[in-house]
Structure 1
């Protein structure tokens, strides 16, 4: 919700209500961007294009619908944001699974 003190691991998807120049350092490691507000010429979309990362903007309630740690894919070509099944932890696997 705020870029101050925020940290992304390489490849993590940045999910934000909107972005401005204060968010730009997070784009260096982001694997993609999902943003609630904005269009093709918004700050986030332009910076994502410059850094070569996929972005989908105008996703209503993205910051409340996508939870930290949730696995998603972002397809900037189609505008699709897809939730993936969470991986099964090794400790949760059954021998017959």
Structure 2
């Protein structure tokens, strides 16, 4: 589901916990869900992909506030996407596309 418009491409960074690893500038943050503790990670993220949520989910609201493309409701995103894979996130259409595949 598209929840924050725009298109961005970058290497996927899959996190299961907020402090698991750093998000570098241009990374695509991939997580199950987020809460307010995740907000600092949005600063460097080029885009956000979340497994659960809707238009009013924390990640969706913060993505819009930061002007970052965001797609939610991608079942098994944290297992389908791997760290380093180039992902194009289209928060207008609600799509996530792996480059080269």
**By the TM > 0.5 criterion, same fold?**
yes
Structure 2 residue 28 is the aligned partner of structure 1 residue 40: no
Matches within 5 A, 1:12-91: 12-85=27-100
Partner residue, 2:19: 4
Larger Rg: 1
Where relative contact order (Cα < 8 A, 6+ residues apart) is larger, the structure is 2
SS of 1:60's equivalent? Answer: coil
User: How far apart are the structure 1 equivalents of 2:74 and 2:20?
Assistant: 24
- TM value normalised by structure 2: 0.82
Q: Mark the runs of 5 or more structure 1 residues left unpaired by the alignment.
A: 87-97
The alpha carbon displacement at 1:9 in A equals 1.0
Deviation for aligned residue 1:5: 4.4
SS of the residue 1:18 aligns to:
coil
Could you say which structure has the higher strand fraction?
A: 2
Unaligned 5+ residue runs, structure 2?
Answer: 1-15
Deviations 1:34-78 (A, max 9, x none): 000100110000000000000000000000000000000000000
Distance 1:6 1:14 in 2: 11
Aligned length: 86
